[in-house]
Amino acid sequence: NKLVEKKAAGLDVKVIMDDSAGNSDARSILEGGGVEVIDDDNTDYSMHDKFVVVDSSRVLAATVNFIEDDFTKNNNTAIYIESKALAYFFKGEFNHMWAGNFHTDKYEDHSFLTFINYQGRVITIEGYFCPQDYGDKNRAANVIASYISSSTSNVRLAHYIFTTGWAVQPIISAIEYAKSNGVDVKAVFDHWMNLDTNGRAAYELLDAGVNVAFSLHKYSLHAKIFSMDDTVAVIGSLNPTTTGVTKNDEYALIIRDPDTTNGIAKQVADYITALFNKYYATTWTATYPVINEVMFYPDTSGAPTYEWVEIYNPTNEDIDLTLYRIGDIDNLFNDDEGLYAFPEGAVLPANSYIIVAYDASAFYEVYGFKPNYEIVDSDPTVPNMVKVLTDKFTGDWNLDDSGDEVLLIEASPYDPEFLIVVDAVWYGTSTYLPNPVDVGGISEGWSIERQEAGLDAPYAGTVFLLNQNPTPIPEEYVALAVLITVAAVVITLVLKRKFKA
């Protein structure tokens, strides 16, 4: 509304957006108010920049997407700088994209080095815009890595997503190098985009002995920040991923501030340290649905007929499963195994369990009650899971007795092919992630189960044990347990009142 208001007042207002369905409402409002808007017209890569230039003299640089959740719920960072020099370079990048040059079509380099006098000290700011499809294609990552490698006392980082792609390997190596040289390294990652997901830097850093925390709240840690030695900070739109460095429109500011008491880098370091102290744990109670028990070795036939998975909701809120998927895939982009969606209207009640069986009739034969859902159609009274994205996930459900993985996934409401791992279990010979559940001593008919319902950790092998007597929990037992608990509370209250009387 403010942009429309400024346009109506006669100001020159231009907006560049990513070509995303999620931007359509905002675009309609802006264009309806006469604001000029363009997008990158590319669904393969993102116009991922997040900056505002005002009056050619002020810049707002942020990790914030212009959506309500990023201002009210998700962890983000932003910096406001009054500098004609800084605004000049950002405006140059903006104008280059306004002329239709996005992603690898860019041919101008607007990287910069500028100096700002602030409260009696000189702050140096380097700026790098991505992608640079010529020369050193991962220049931004290499520069960030060089500052990390040069650190002598501490490194802090907090990221929404940090992958292990080739373009960001220099950053990972620099962090590991700093750690090996006695530098105090602390890292915080968004749990939705990094925990239980292969191809993420968090697991390489954990293996290198780096202290890693995951943000354990229902929203996102959307930060993209580093701090080194309380004197160097990195902030911008750039996620440390190969796509971010080499394909998407991004930027990274490297800010050198000599004030180690309350300077910019010190404030960034303190912010990350506070996040780390809040969320660091070797085990924790999940704030999201988890896979609680897996029957992967029901008999020696190798057939999936008697396989099943139990899912637990440790929260106090019902969870709509409309966008949830489950599968034995080990790759979020394509695999020769199957991915299945819950039927429309499926709900996982608060503090409750549901069971997805391969064959409901076979499950009933063994346990005497029916599962909540089944993969094959064997019982008309049990809702079927729906096979999805069959062009990418071409196989069928069948857990390998020697080693495999089960993934609980949520799809984006804007893009059904954008998949986020909510929880995962990997066991035996699976190479999905390190430290699988040890099933070396398992016998036919045993399952693997969490030590405690809702207990989670970075590694499945930490929280899962062999279970000689599988214990799938019928939904009615959960309801009965709740009633008994309520009844006990009521009885206790009555007794207390009588005693007081």
* Domain assignment of residue 346, yes or no: yes
Q: How many domains does the chain have?
A: 2
Q: Give the pLDDT of residue 21.
A: 83
Judgement on whether residues 133 and 271 belong to the same structural domain of the protein:
yes
Other CB atoms within 10 Å distance of the CB of residue 55: 9
419-428 β-sheet, strand order: 386-387, 339-341, 324-327, 403-411, 419-428
**What's the pLDDT band for 499 if we cut at 50, 70, 90?**
very low
Q: What is the mean pLDDT of residues 285-291?
A: 97
Indicate the residue among 230, 257, 279 that finishes a domain: 279
Q: What is the mean pLDDT of residues 250-261?
A: 98
Structure tokens at 397: 């459900």
Indicate the residue among 253, 279, 305 that finishes a domain: 279
Judgement on whether residues 242 and 154 belong to the same structural domain of the protein:
yes
Judgement on whether residues 123 and 256 belong to the same structural domain of the protein:
yes
Judgement on whether residues 130 and 171 belong to the same structural domain of the protein:
yes
Q: What is the mean pLDDT of residues 284-288?
A: 97
DSSP reduced 3-state for 179: helix
Domain that holds residue 73: 65-80+100-279
* Distance (Å, whole) CA 428 – CA 396: 20
pLDDT one-digit tens code per residue, 333-343 = 999 999 999 99
Judgement on whether residues 288 and 374 belong to the same structural domain of the protein:
yes
**What's the pLDDT band for 414 if we cut at 50, 70, 90?**
confident
Q: Give the pLDDT of residue 163.
A: 98
> 282 with 457: CB under 8 angstroms?
yes
* Distance (Å, whole) CA 317 – CA 350: 5
Judgement on whether residues 246 and 306 belong to the same structural domain of the protein:
no
* Domain assignment of residue 107, yes or no: yes
Residue 369 has pLDDT above 90, yes or no: yes
Indicate the residue among 230, 255, 279 that finishes a domain: 279
Judgement on whether residues 251 and 324 belong to the same structural domain of the protein:
no
**What's the pLDDT band for 22 if we cut at 50, 70, 90?**
confident
What's the distance, Cα to Cα, between the start and end of the chain in Å?
62
* Domain assignment of residue 240, yes or no: yes
Give how far the C-alpha of residue 104 lies from the chain's centroid of Cα atoms, to the nearest Å: 26
Give how far the C-alpha of residue 155 lies from the chain's centroid of Cα atoms, to the nearest Å: 22
Q: What is the mean pLDDT of residues 175-179?
A: 99
**What's the pLDDT band for 493 if we cut at 50, 70, 90?**
very low
* Distance (Å, whole) CA 289 – CA 348: 9
Q: What is the mean pLDDT of residues 204-217?
A: 97
* Distance (Å, whole) CA 308 – CA 306: 7
pLDDT one-digit tens code per residue, 78-125 = 999 999 999 999 999 999 999 999 999 999 999 999 999 999 999 999
DSSP reduced 3-state for 500: helix
pLDDT one-digit tens code per residue, 298-354 = 998 999 999 999 999 999 999 999 999 999 999 999 999 999 999 999 999 999 999
Judgement on whether residues 131 and 177 belong to the same structural domain of the protein:
yes
